[in-house]
Structure formats: C-alpha cells, structure tokens
Amino acid sequence: MHFKREEPFRFLFETPIVGTFSIAKYDNKEIDSKPGPLSVIDLSPKGIKIITPLDLPIFNHQIQLKISFYLNEKPIHITGLCVWKEKRHTEYLYGIEAFNDVEEQAILITELKTYAKKKRDTQ
C-alpha cells in the first residue's frame, strides 16, 4: 500500500538525516515506548518518509510516532500516523502523515529552504 503525495514541496535528502522515534499511540492508546533509530529520507510540511531496522505492525494496528531529529542544528519534532510500510533489504521504509499545524509547517518550510541553500552553496 503506497500513499500518493500531491504536495508541491517535498525535500529528498541526498544523505539521510539520523534521528529517533518512539511510539506515541498504539491503537489510539497513549504509550511511552523506548526510542528507536531512524533516518529521514524525505520531508514535507505534511509528511515524512523514514527508514529504520524496526518492523512495526502498521497493517494490523494504528501506530502514531513521535519523530525527533536535527535540521540546521535546530531540533525538529514531528508527530504523525504511519500510513504505509515497505521492506527494503534488512530495513523498513515508512510513510508518516504529519499532524503539523500551519505554524509548524511554516517552520519546516523555512528550515528546509535554509538546508537546501546551504547544500547548494557548498557544491
């Protein structure tokens, strides 16, 4: 199952950004899980694609994640719902629908533009 993106702005990272995630809700029940490793593959104001070695049962359960990483040395925290999963060798790709409000979306856009400009200037 793939989630089609029709957003005008989605940034694909050449080198994935390392971060962590924890499960915030499992079948709409709040839980506090241990953090797991992830890498951010791409990012938009409304969603994020991550890869992790952990296999989450998203087809049988509704799973909401708290994702944390740094972008431009600024901490970024995104909460969202796992909407698709794909196995890649020994890891799993996940598509996450973010629950960002308009202000959080604006911050992400600003940080992504700054990141892209820095990358362009160093090439």
Q: Model's pTM, two decimal places?
A: 0.88
- Residue appearing with tokens 């994935």: 16
Q: In sequence order, which residues have a C-beta less than 8 Å from that of residue 101 and are 6 or more positions away?
A: none
Q: Tell me how far apart the alpha carbons of residues 25 and 81 are, in angstroms, rounded to a whole number.
A: 9
Angle at 96 between CA 121 and CA 48, to 5 degrees: 0
Closest alpha carbon to 21 in 35, 32, 31: 35
pLDDT digits (tens, 9 = 90+) for 60-93: 999 999 999 999 999 999 999 999 999 999 999 9
Please tell me the predicted confidence (pLDDT) of residue 3.
42
* CB of 39 closer than 8 Å to CB of 52: yes
Q: Which SS3 state, helix, strand or coil, does residue 33 take?
A: coil
Which residue ranges form the domains of the chain, and what is each CATH number?
A: 11-121 (2.40.10.220)
pLDDT digits (tens, 9 = 90+) for 25-34: 999 999 989 9
